[in-house]
């Protein structure tokens, strides 16, 4: 049975009346959601109550939490630079659309295995599917957590060159 996705109100609480500013990333909360800080946004805040509060993404990063986790195994040395650039650019585009969709970290060990964490589970799923599309010969397995946990785990395995042919 699939559970319905939590609404923004259920996840973050009811909308605040004040304007909030994240002191870390300078995102502004208004009109019931977090937005990128625009240069002209400061002019619109005159006469408004402004409070400082960490946005949900910065709060998750500070608490060492994540909603998306990609485990990438057996990355060939010749593809590591291309994979790194793909992850960076895909995450940058997601951040430009929504300031709460962020890449937290990319950690690598010496055996060709990577761990990628994100602040949003949807970002991790889309990134895993994109890696599967770009690099032929990868197995992508997505596992969803049970409610109320929102963590999605994506396991990507690069097959050896002999198995790809």
Instruction: Write the DSSP string, 87-131.
Output: HHHHHHHHHHH-TT--EEEEEE-TTS-EEEEES-HHHHHHHHHHH
* DSSP letter assigned to residue 44: H
Give yes or no for a contact between 100 and 57, defined as CB atoms under 8 angstroms apart. Answer: yes
For domain 66-164, the question of CATH label 3.40.50 is answered with: no
**pTM value?**
0.81
Q: List residues bridging with 70 in a β-sheet.
A: 116, 154
Ranges of each domain in the chain: 8-56, 66-164
Question: How far is residue 148's CA from residue 127's CA, in Å, rounded to a whole number?
Answer: 23
In a structure prediction context, what are the per-residue pLDDT tens digits for the chain, which is 165 residues long?
555 666 666 666 655 567 889 999 999 988 788 998 765 555 566 667 788 999 999 999 999 999 999 999 999 989 999 999 999 999 999 999 999 999 999 999 878 899 999 999 999 999 999 999 999 889 999 998 887 788 999 999 998 765 544
């Amino acid at each position: 049975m699939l559970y319905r996705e939590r609404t923004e109100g259920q996840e973050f609480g009811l909308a605040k009346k004040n304007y909030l500013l994240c002191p870390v990333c300078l995102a502004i909360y208004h009109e019931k959601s977090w937005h990128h800080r625009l240069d002209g946004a400061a002019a619109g805040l005159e006469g408004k109550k402004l409070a400082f509060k960490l946005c949900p993404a910065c709060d998750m990063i500070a608490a060492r939490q994540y909603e998306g986790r990609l485990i990438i195994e057996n990355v060939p040395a010749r593809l590591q630079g291309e994979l790194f650039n793909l992850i960076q650019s895909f995450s940058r585009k997601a951040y430009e659309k929504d300031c709460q969709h962020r890449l937290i970290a990319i950690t690598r060990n010496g055996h060709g295995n990577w761990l990628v964490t994100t602040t949003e589970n949807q970002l991790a799923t889309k990134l895993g599917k994109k890696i599967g599309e770009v690099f032929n010969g990868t197995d992508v397995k997505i596992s969803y957590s049970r409610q109320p946990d929102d963590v999605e785990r994506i396991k990507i395995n690069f097959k050896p060159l002999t198995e790809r042919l």
